[in-house]
Chains A and B, each alone.
Chain A
Amino acid sequence: MNQRSRQRARAIVKMLVPEDYDRLQSIKINDLGFGYDPFGLEMESVMLAFAVAKFVYTNWFRVESHGVENVPVKGPVLITPNHSGVLPIDGAMIGVDLAKKMETPRVMRGVVDNFAGFLPFVNTLFYRWGQIIGARRNFEELLRQGEMVVVFPEGHKGTGKPYRERYKLTRFNVGFMELSLLNKTPIVPAAVIGAEEQYPYMLDLKPLARLLNFPYMPVTPMMLLLGPLGIVPLPTKYAIYYGEPLHFYRDYPPETVKDPETIYGLVDTVKTHVQELIDQGLRERKGVFGFSLSSLDALLGGAGETVPPEERRQIQEKAGS
């Protein structure tokens, strides 16, 4: 953006979200001199994205959150939520929630999958909004700069999982744990409730996905019924839960990264924490859409579905070992 566009962007943000404008203005970035940080983040783009996403946050998904005080207000931190819902809207809602509710607002730096880098527009927008393509070196650099990084350990396996597997965590990648130990960074487990039902995804058009270089190409009933309008997600009620920070680096020195068994064990501990937060969220919610309408919930397979006890026991045993 040039100077005039930046001024205009700030004026629009002030008009759209006057109550958050000062908070957003107070966020400092590592400006290289042209209004961009080394990763391409531009504060005006972040503010505009916030203003648009906040409308969705407030009016469409009606997001509520719990435990935001568990997220450190300064220094490096890793937030590890579950990932779901075809499109990474859950990431955007976490970003808005943290910028809106933290005592000192911070920009969420999301680590996104490599495929995003190939996509025109998506590539540029992600960088301007502070999102980073998942190269390990980038991840490390962010932590070194004391940023708040949100990483979805499930990766695109989470967003691409079919509807019947909702709220069942897929395998966690271990890279985040290694970087947490190497950079002495606390991990805040988090859970997003509601995203898993926003696109009841039935079918994956794999040949089309391969052709477009996408990891998956989902088809939902809404897309079949409404055509292009089916891209609009269902207005499920979102709830975000932040757990207490886990300071593994206090007990495990950086050399632990050479011990894969311990690393897998620690990752499973994080996974268990995330699953517990998911269970809590599912227990506490009043319905998929935020109100109790059993027939509608039943249509979507029930509001309180969670991991079967046997699977849970296996996860906990693994974490314990």
Chain B
Amino acid sequence: MVKKKKKTVKKRVTVKKKEGPVAKKVETTSRKKNVLITGVTGTVGSRLAEALYYDKNVGVIFGVALGAKPYYFNQFDTKRFRYKNLNILKQRDLTNLFLASDFKEAKINTVVHLAFLNRVVSASKEKKTFNTLNVEGTRDLLEKCIESGSVTKFIFKSSDVVYKIRPHNPIYLDENADLNFDTDVDPWIKDRVDADMICQSKLDNRKTNIVILRFSNIIGRMVSSQMNAFFDSPLNFRALGFNPLINLIHMEDVIQAIHLAIKKNVKGIFNIAGADTAPISTFAEINRSRMVSLPEPLLGPSNALLRMMGLTRYYYSVDQDRLKYSLLLDTGKAQKTLGFRPRSHVYFERGVA
């Protein structure tokens, strides 16, 4: 063990002596990735932590989330996996984290930002709090990472809800497609668009490579996505006369994409979609969930009624256009630059897609 340590020190010294772009490349490839995962207790976060833990090219994994350390992290060696209970989206907690000695020791060079308050809220006071935490929290974290000088990569998990859905959209939306800047859009979407834009505004930063991954609908157990909630419900409503194509992505592919973004020397925005594309009714049928078509004006009240009865977690107001118009992502850039290829098919509890 001691010998090994000596070797790595020697390697670093030789790299520092070299000059020019070649030397820089060697440095980035030889250095292990020490990764901070925000929102590590979420489904994506915990799966990602597990995947990175078994990756030899990853050094320390520093997970932060709200709440005590979950039992499933106890299997990990504490030298490689560290956990901190804090709200990264709060300025004070963020500052404390960056000042903490164990965090400094970890020499974090990659940040995967997954922490985002996902609950759809209706009260205006709550909306403001959520906006402060989600948008300003993301901005503060990003700025802190850039300021630190040691973070060379910042990965932000965004989603396709940021895109403006229109009937005359191209069938495949690329990364340059219009975002949803509508003033009357639900704050749930607005927060996501704002956070995405904040990350976009720093894309040309030279010290930190910023990667924005826009995922299609993630389906999986305990995943808090709108489509997941939609298919979880025993009864669904869809807009009469519309049956849009949707794409579902398996959790394994989500992890694969983030993992690739950590490993590869990339920056920019990437659309990430899964292997399964079909009309919404086809997936409902595979899931054997009951789907009733209703005229559009009735969808909102019907959904509210289902929520009152505790039959669904899906919010129609959040993505009403999605029930009418197709939204598929063009993943050409991710395939070419990241080498991403969806490998898994979505599994429904009542059938396989």
B241 near A120: Cβ-Cβ < 8 Å = yes
Contact (A124, B171) CB under 8 Å given A38-B328, A40-B279, A40-B326: no
A120 near B279: Cβ-Cβ < 8 Å = no
CB contacts (< 8 Å) of A127 on chain B: these are: 245, 326
Q: Which of A128-136, A237-245, A247-255 contacts B (4 or more CB under 8 A)?
A: A128-136
For residue B123, give the distance in angstroms from its CB to the closest CB of chain A: 33
- Does residue B234 face the partner (Cβ distance < 8 Å to A)? no
For residue B219, give the distance in angstroms from its CB to the closest CB of chain A: 15
Categorize the interface residue count of chain B.
20 to 34
Contact (A34, B242) CB under 8 Å given A137-B172, A141-B170: no
A40 near B241: Cβ-Cβ < 8 Å = no
Interface string of B320-342 (1 = CB under 8 A from A): 00001110100000000000000
A133 near B167: Cβ-Cβ < 8 Å = yes
B-facing residues in A1-40 (Cβ within 8 Å)? 2, 32-34, 36, 38-40
Closest B residue to A137 by CB, please name it: B170
Name the contact of A117 in the complex, choosing from B172, B277, B279, B325 (C-beta under 8 A): B325
Name the contact of B243 in the complex, choosing from A114, A124, A137 (C-beta under 8 A): A124
Closest B residue to A122 by CB, please name it: B241
A-facing residues in B265-284 (Cβ within 8 Å)? 275-279, 282
A123 near B242: Cβ-Cβ < 8 Å = yes
Give the docked Cα–Cα distance between A135 and B285 (Å).
Answer: 30
Give the docked Cα–Cα distance between A134 and B285 (Å).
Answer: 30
B-facing residues in A171-210 (Cβ within 8 Å)? none
Give the docked Cα–Cα distance between A36 and B166 (Å).
Answer: 21
For residue B331, give the distance in angstroms from its CB to the closest CB of chain A: 12
Closest A residue to B166 by CB, please name it: A117
Closest A residue to B326 by CB, please name it: A40
CB contacts (< 8 Å) of B241 on chain A: these are: 119-124
Give the docked Cα–Cα distance between A40 and B282 (Å).
Answer: 12
For residue B176, give the distance in angstroms from its CB to the closest CB of chain A: 11
B277 near A36: Cβ-Cβ < 8 Å = yes
Closest A residue to B278 by CB, please name it: A34
Name the contact of B169 in the complex, choosing from A33, A38, A135 (C-beta under 8 A): A135
B245 near A123: Cβ-Cβ < 8 Å = no
A-facing residues in B229-258 (Cβ within 8 Å)? 239-243, 245
For residue B66, give the distance in angstroms from its CB to the closest CB of chain A: 39
Name the contact of B245 in the complex, choosing from A2, A36, A117, A122 (C-beta under 8 A): A36
Name the contact of A133 in the complex, choosing from B168, B275, B277, B296 (C-beta under 8 A): B168
CB contacts (< 8 Å) of A118 on chain B: these are: 167
- Does residue A138 face the partner (Cβ distance < 8 Å to B)? yes
For residue B217, give the distance in angstroms from its CB to the closest CB of chain A: 15
B278 near A141: Cβ-Cβ < 8 Å = no
Which secondary structure dominates chain B's binding surface? loop
CB contacts (< 8 Å) of A122 on chain B: these are: 241
Give the docked Cα–Cα distance between A124 and B275 (Å).
Answer: 22
B167 near A138: Cβ-Cβ < 8 Å = no
Give the docked Cα–Cα distance between A32 and B275 (Å).
Answer: 9
CB contacts (< 8 Å) of A2 on chain B: these are: 282, 285
Give the docked Cα–Cα distance between A135 and B276 (Å).
Answer: 23
A135 near B170: Cβ-Cβ < 8 Å = yes
For residue A5, give the distance in angstroms from its CB to the closest CB of chain B: 10
Name the contact of A120 in the complex, choosing from B171, B172, B239 (C-beta under 8 A): B239
B279 near A134: Cβ-Cβ < 8 Å = no
For residue B322, give the distance in angstroms from its CB to the closest CB of chain A: 14
Name the contact of A40 in the complex, choosing from B169, B245, B275, B276 (C-beta under 8 A): B245
CB contacts (< 8 Å) of A117 on chain B: these are: 166-168, 325
CB contacts (< 8 Å) of A124 on chain B: these are: 241-243
Name the contact of B171 in the complex, choosing from A114, A123, A132 (C-beta under 8 A): A132
For residue B273, give the distance in angstroms from its CB to the closest CB of chain A: 11
Give the docked Cα–Cα distance between A134 and B168 (Å).
Answer: 7
Closest A residue to B168 by CB, please name it: A114
CB contacts (< 8 Å) of A123 on chain B: these are: 167, 241-242, 324-325
Closest B residue to A134 by CB, please name it: B168
Give the docked Cα–Cα distance between A91 and B276 (Å).
Answer: 31
Most chain B CB inside 10 Å of its own CB: which residue of A121, A122, A136, A137: A137
12 residue pairs from A and B, CB less than 8 Å apart = A2-B282, A114-B167, A117-B167, A117-B168, A118-B167, A120-B296, A123-B241, A123-B324, A123-B325, A133-B167, A135-B170, A137-B172
Binding site for A on B (CB under 8 A): 166-172, 239-243, 245, 275-279, 282, 285, 296, 324-326, 328, 353
- Beyond known contacts A118-B167, A121-B241, A127-B326: 15 more, CB 8 A cutoff: A32-B278, A33-B277, A34-B278, A36-B245, A36-B279, A36-B282, A38-B245, A114-B168, A120-B239, A124-B242, A132-B171, A133-B168, A135-B168, A137-B170, A138-B170
- The 4 lowest CB-CB distance pairs between A and B, nearest first, are A120-B241, A117-B167, A137-B170, A34-B278
